[in-house]
Chains A and B, each alone.
Chain A
Amino acid sequence: SRQQQEDLLLHSTTLYVGNLSFFTTEEQIHELFTRAGDVKRIIMGLDKFKKTPCGFCFVELRKFPRSVLIASDPSFYNLNSVVRYYTREDAENAMRYANGTRLDDRVVRTDWDVGFKEGRQYGRG
C-alpha cells in the first residue's frame, strides 16, 4: 500500500542514483558515495532509454576508447544505479551532500529507493 511504501522510504538505506554518464564505473560511484559512509553494495543499472541489459552492454562498450563514444550524443548514454548503505545515517549524508554534485562531469541525482529487488535493474518506474 501507499502507507507501507512511505514507511519503507522513511527507513530505506538505499539510494537510487540517476543521471550518471554511461562511462561512469562502479569504482567511481564507490569513491564518491563512500565519502558519505560505509557502502554495502552498488548495483550498476541500465541504459534508461534503450533498456538493454547493461551488465553486458556496459562491459562491451568499455572496450572502445572513451573519446569515440563521447562523440555521439552523451544524453543517450544515461546510466542509473543503486547504492545501498549499512545505516540510514550514512544514506542521509549521501542525500544531503553527494546529491547534486558532479561525478564524471555529470550532476548526480539521488533519490530514496525502497530497496533493490532482482529484476529492478531493468529500468525504473
Chain B
Amino acid sequence: KRRRGSESVDIEDRLESLITRVGEKSTSSLESNLEGLASVLESDLPNYKQKIMRILCECVTTMPEKLTVYTTLVGLLNAKNYNAGGEFVELLVRNLKEVLKTSEFDSALVMVRFLADLINCHVIVAASLIMMFDSFLEVTLEDNIPQVRSDWYVYAVLSSMPWVGKELAEKKDAELEKLLTTIEHYIQKRQKIHVQTLRVWTSDDPHPQEEYLDCLWAQIKNLRANQWEEHQILRPYLAFNVVLCDALQHTLPRIIPPSHHDEATYPLPTVVFRMFDYTDVPEGVGIIPGSQAIERYLLEEHISRIIESYHLERKDCAAYLLSFPLKCKVPLNYMIVEVLFSQLFRLPRPPYIDLFYGSLLVELCKLQPSSMPQVVAQATEMLYDRLDTMNTSCIERFVQWFAYHLSNFQFRWTWDEWSDCTQQDLLGPKAKFVQEVLLKCMRLSYHQRMVEIVPADFKALLPRKPVPSFKYEKEGSGSLPGTIVVHQLMQAIKSKCTPEEAFSIIKDVPNPLKEKEGMDPGYNPLRIEVFVQTLLYIGSKSFSHSFAAISKFNNVLKALAETQDGQICLLKSLYELHKDHQQLIVVLIDKLLKTQIVECSAVANWIFSDEMMQDFTSDEEDYDNVKRIWQRFEVAYKEATDFYVWEIMHSTVKKMNKQVQKLQKEVDEARDRREAAHRRTRDGLDLDDEPEDVPTEEMIERMEDRLEAAQSEQKNLFLIIFQRFIIILTDHLAKCESDDSDYNTHWYKWVIERLQQVFLLHHEQVYRYINTLETLMFTSDIDIHILEVFQQFCALRS
C-alpha cells in the first residue's frame, strides 16, 4: 500500500526500508550492500539528513542484534562525510543521556555498546570512550545508593568489553587495566544476599548457577587472558579497514550519569540460568561454549536480542532465531532452547507472558521438525530430572508450559520413562509435577483423555473427574439439615423464580451458630451452604450457566455474605461442592470478586483457613510411600501444596493491584486536566466555551478518598497474607522442633517457596509496604528461615 503525498515521502520510506533491512539475507554480500547503502545515504544527506539520522538512531535500539552492521554503516558514512558522523554521535549521545534520565536502562545498554563499537570503526577516539567508562565507574564510589545502581553502570562497561576490549588494549592499555582493576574491587565487595531468591535451582549440580555480574566478570577475565580474542561477533568493519583508517574521529562529549533519585528503577539482578553443557549435545553439531567463555555470553545476548526485537511476531521470531549468522559451529538449537527456558524461568517474572514462550517453541518445532522437537524433549527430560531442587515458581511455569506444549502435540509423551514418580511420596516434586501437568492438560482437554494418555501405573496421579459433589443428592442426604429446603429451592430456581422468591424459601433456615452461642454471629452458615450449593449445582453445566446463576442471584448472595465470615463461609460452600473441579473454583472466585460479592481479604483468609492449609502429612511419615500412592484418596494432605490454590491467591492480589492502579490513574488524569485548565486561565486562554470535563477540587478529593481506601485495602491484604504465612510456617517449625523431626518436609518446601513467590510476583507493590512489613511482621523474633525470605527480597533492590 503506497502512501499518498509528495515524492519526498516516497524517498523517505525507501530510505527507511533500505536502512532497516541491511544485514538481512541477500543475494549480494553484506559488504557490498553496506558500501552501496553508504553511498546512497551520502548522496541523500543534503536533503534528508534529519530523517537519516533519526532512522539510524532508531536502529541502534530496535535492532540491537545487528549492532556491528550499523556501526560499520555509520563508520562508512563518517569516512565520506565527517560532519554527518559528528551529528550522528551527537544525537546518539543526546538520546543516551535522555534514557539514562528516564531509567530506560535496556536501551541505554545497547547505546553504550554501540558507542563503544564506534571506536572500532574509527568514528570515536578511544580516549573519550575511556572517559565515559571512567565516569560510569565513578558511580561505584557514590555513597547511599542502592547496589543495583552501581551494578548497572559496571555491567554497561563490562558488557561492552567483548566488542571493544581488543582495540582498547592496543591503544589504551594502561587505562583499560585501571578500569578493570576498579571493576574487580567492586565485584569483590558486592553483597549477594539476593542470589538465593533468584535461583531456579538450589543446587549447583550439574551446572553452577552464577550471579550475573560475577559470571560476566569471569568471562571477561577469560577474554582478557585470551588477548581479547573472541569467536562470535561478526565484524563487517574489518573488511573496510583501509577506508575507515583514513577517517577523522570525533570526541565524545562528557557523559555523566544522572544522580540517583528515589523514582529511578534500576534493572534487578539476575542469576544466569544454565542447563546444557557440551556433553549434552550429540557429536557433529558443534560445541556449546563453556559457562565461563565469552562466546556463551555473546550467543545468549544475541538470541535474547532477537527475541526482544521480534517478540510480537512469533513466526518471524522463530525464523530469525534459526537463521542466526554464526562464526563457528555451535549447536544453535540447544542455545535457543536454553535461552528460552532461562527467560521463562526468570525470577521475579519472565520478560514476556508464558504463552509467548509456549507458542514460540511450537513454532520452532514446526520450522525445524528434524531436530527441534528432540532438543525440546531432551530439555524437558533434564528439567524433570532436576525437579528436586527446582524453585516452586519455576516448577509452576514448567507445568504451565509443558501442558500447553503437550496439547499442541496430541499429548504424546514417553510417560513410561517417568514412572519413577509413581514410586514417590505424592508430595514429592516429581509426583507433584506430574499430577499438576495432568490437571492442566485436563483443563485443555478432558478427563477421559488423561486416563488414556498415561500408563496404568500413573493412576494414582490422575486428576479426579471434575464433577460437582452435591451432598444433598447423595445417599443419606435425608438426614442432613437443610435437605428439604434444598429441594424446594431447586424446584423454584428451575422454574425460574425471582431472587426475592428464592430468598423467601431460605429465610427460615435456622442458624446453627445462633442456637449454640445464643448470639448473632452475623451470618448463617447453613443458609449460605444451602443456597450457594444448590445454585451452583444447578449452574454446574458450564461456566456460562454458573455465571448466569451468580448474576441473577447477585443480591441474594450479597445479602447472605455481608460479613467477612459470611464470605469465607460462602467460599467454603463453593469449594466443598466443586473441589474436584479446580478450574471452576478458580473462575467462580474470580467472578465473585468482580461482582464484589466477596472481598479480596476474605479470599486470602479462606485460603489460609485450617481446611486448606494444615499440614497433616508430617504426622504420616511412617506410612509406606508406595502404599500411600495407591491410597491417593485416603491420604489427608491439604490443599496448600495444590497449585490452583495459589493461582487463586495471585489472581486475587492482582485484582487488588489493578484496582489501585486504576484509581491512581484516574486521580492523576483528573489532576492533569485540572492543572491544564488552570494554566489556560492563567495564560488568558480561557474562552467561554471551556470544556465541561474539568474536574472540580471536590471531585478530585473524592477520587483521592477512593484511592486511599483501595490502598489501605491493598496493604491490609498483604498484611493478612504475610501474617498467615508466618503463622502456619511457625507452627510447622515449632511442631518439628518439639517432635525432634526434620522440618524440611515436602509440605514445608512447597509452602515457604509460595511465600517467596508472593514477594517476587508482586514485588513492586510489596516493596511499597516494606517498612510496615519490617516493623510489624518480619521482626527479629520470628524464625530465621522465614525472616531470611524477607531479607533476601529486600536485598533485591538494595
**With the chains together, A84 CA to B443 CA distance in Å?**
19
- Expressed in whole angstroms, the minimum distance between the Cβ of B312 and any Cβ of chain A is 6
Residues in B with CB closer than 8 Å to A98 are: 355, 359
- Expressed in whole angstroms, the minimum distance between the Cβ of A103 and any Cβ of chain B is 7
The segment from B59-67, B127-135, B404-412 that touches chain A is: B404-412
**With the chains together, A28 CA to B354 CA distance in Å?**
18
For residues 18 through 42 of chain A, which have their beta carbon under 8 Å from a beta carbon of chain B?
Answer: 25-28, 30-32, 35-36, 42
The segment from B161-169, B383-391, B537-545 that touches chain A is: B537-545
CB–CB A97/B443 < 8 A: no
B304-315 to A contact mask, C-beta < 8 Å, 1/0: 000000001110
B583 contacts A by Cβ under 8 Å: yes
B660 contacts A by Cβ under 8 Å: no
CB–CB B314/A28 < 8 A: no
Residues in B with CB closer than 8 Å to A66 are: 446, 448
B353 contacts A by Cβ under 8 Å: yes
- Expressed in whole angstroms, the minimum distance between the Cβ of B618 and any Cβ of chain A is 34
A104 contacts B by Cβ under 8 Å: yes
CB–CB B445/A59 < 8 A: no
User: Given known contacts A93-B355, A97-B353, is B443 in contact with A27 (CB within 8 Å)?
Assistant: yes
CB–CB B404/A44 < 8 A: no
User: Given known contacts A101-B359, A101-B362, A102-B407, is B444 in contact with A26 (CB within 8 Å)?
Assistant: no
User: Given known contacts A32-B444, A97-B356, A104-B445, is B543 in contact with A42 (CB within 8 Å)?
Assistant: yes
B499 contacts A by Cβ under 8 Å: no
Residues in B with CB closer than 8 Å to A103 are: 407, 444
**Which of B314, B404, B542 is the one whose CB lies under 8 Å from A26?**
B542
B358 contacts A by Cβ under 8 Å: yes
Residues in B with CB closer than 8 Å to A28 are: 443-446
**With the chains together, A97 CA to B446 CA distance in Å?**
22
CB–CB B542/A35 < 8 A: no
**With the chains together, A108 CA to B587 CA distance in Å?**
22
A105 contacts B by Cβ under 8 Å: yes
Q: Select the residue from A36, A93, A97 with max chain B CB neighbours within 10 A.
A: A97
CB–CB B544/A26 < 8 A: yes
A51 contacts B by Cβ under 8 Å: no
**With the chains together, A5 CA to B797 CA distance in Å?**
48
CB–CB B448/A31 < 8 A: no
Residues in A with CB closer than 8 Å to B356 are: 93, 96-97
Instruction: Give the interface size class of chain B.
Output: 20 to 34
**With the chains together, A35 CA to B542 CA distance in Å?**
19
CB–CB B443/A36 < 8 A: no
By beta carbon, the residue of chain B nearest A35 is: B355
User: Given known contacts A28-B443, A101-B362, is B314 in contact with A96 (CB within 8 Å)?
Assistant: yes
Residues in A with CB closer than 8 Å to B410 are: 105
Q: Select the residue from B400, B446, B541 with max chain A CB neighbours within 10 A.
A: B446
A82-116 to B contact mask, C-beta < 8 Å, 1/0: 00000000000100111011111100000000000
CB–CB A25/B542 < 8 A: yes
CB–CB B355/A97 < 8 A: yes
- In this complex, how many residues of chain A approach chain B with their Cβ under 8 Å: the count is 23
User: Given known contacts A66-B448, A97-B355, is B544 in contact with A44 (CB within 8 Å)?
Assistant: yes
**With the chains together, A95 CA to B445 CA distance in Å?**
21
CB–CB A59/B362 < 8 A: no
Q: Select the residue from B314, B354, B359, B541 with max chain A CB neighbours within 10 A.
A: B359
For residues 580 through 615 of chain B, which have their beta carbon under 8 Å from a beta carbon of chain A?
Answer: 583-584, 587
By beta carbon, the residue of chain B nearest A100 is: B359
Residues in A with CB closer than 8 Å to B583 are: 27, 30-31
- Expressed in whole angstroms, the minimum distance between the Cβ of B780 and any Cβ of chain A is 40
Residues in A with CB closer than 8 Å to B587 are: 30
By beta carbon, the residue of chain A nearest B315 is: A100
By beta carbon, the residue of chain B nearest A39 is: B587
**With the chains together, A93 CA to B355 CA distance in Å?**
9
Residues in B with CB closer than 8 Å to A96 are: 312-314, 356, 359
CB–CB B359/A97 < 8 A: yes
**With the chains together, A26 CA to B545 CA distance in Å?**
11
**Which of B312, B353, B446 is the one whose CB lies under 8 Å from A36?**
B353
- Expressed in whole angstroms, the minimum distance between the Cβ of B581 and any Cβ of chain A is 9
Residues in A with CB closer than 8 Å to B358 are: 35, 97, 101
For residues 37 through 55 of chain A, which have their beta carbon under 8 Å from a beta carbon of chain B?
Answer: 42, 44
For residues 56 through 92 of chain A, which have their beta carbon under 8 Å from a beta carbon of chain B?
Answer: 59, 66
User: Given known contacts A30-B587, A31-B443, is B542 in contact with A101 (CB within 8 Å)?
Assistant: no
**With the chains together, A11 CA to B722 CA distance in Å?**
40
For residues 359 through 407 of chain B, which have their beta carbon under 8 Å from a beta carbon of chain A?
Answer: 359, 362, 400, 404, 407
**With the chains together, A81 CA to B766 CA distance in Å?**
39
By beta carbon, the residue of chain B nearest A105 is: B410
CB–CB B542/A27 < 8 A: yes
Residues in B with CB closer than 8 Å to A32 are: 404, 444
Pull 18 A–B residue pairs with CB atoms less than 8 Å apart, ordered by A: A25-B446, A26-B543, A26-B544, A27-B443, A27-B584, A28-B444, A30-B583, A35-B353, A36-B353, A42-B543, A66-B446, A93-B355, A93-B356, A96-B356, A97-B353, A98-B355, A101-B404, A102-B407
| Known A97-B355, A104-B445; further 4 A-B contacts with Cβ < 8 A | A28-B443, A28-B445, A98-B359, A103-B407
List the 10 closest A-B pairs by CB distance, nearest first.
Answer: A31-B443, A97-B359, A35-B355, A97-B355, A102-B408, A26-B543, A26-B542, A97-B356, A101-B359, A31-B444
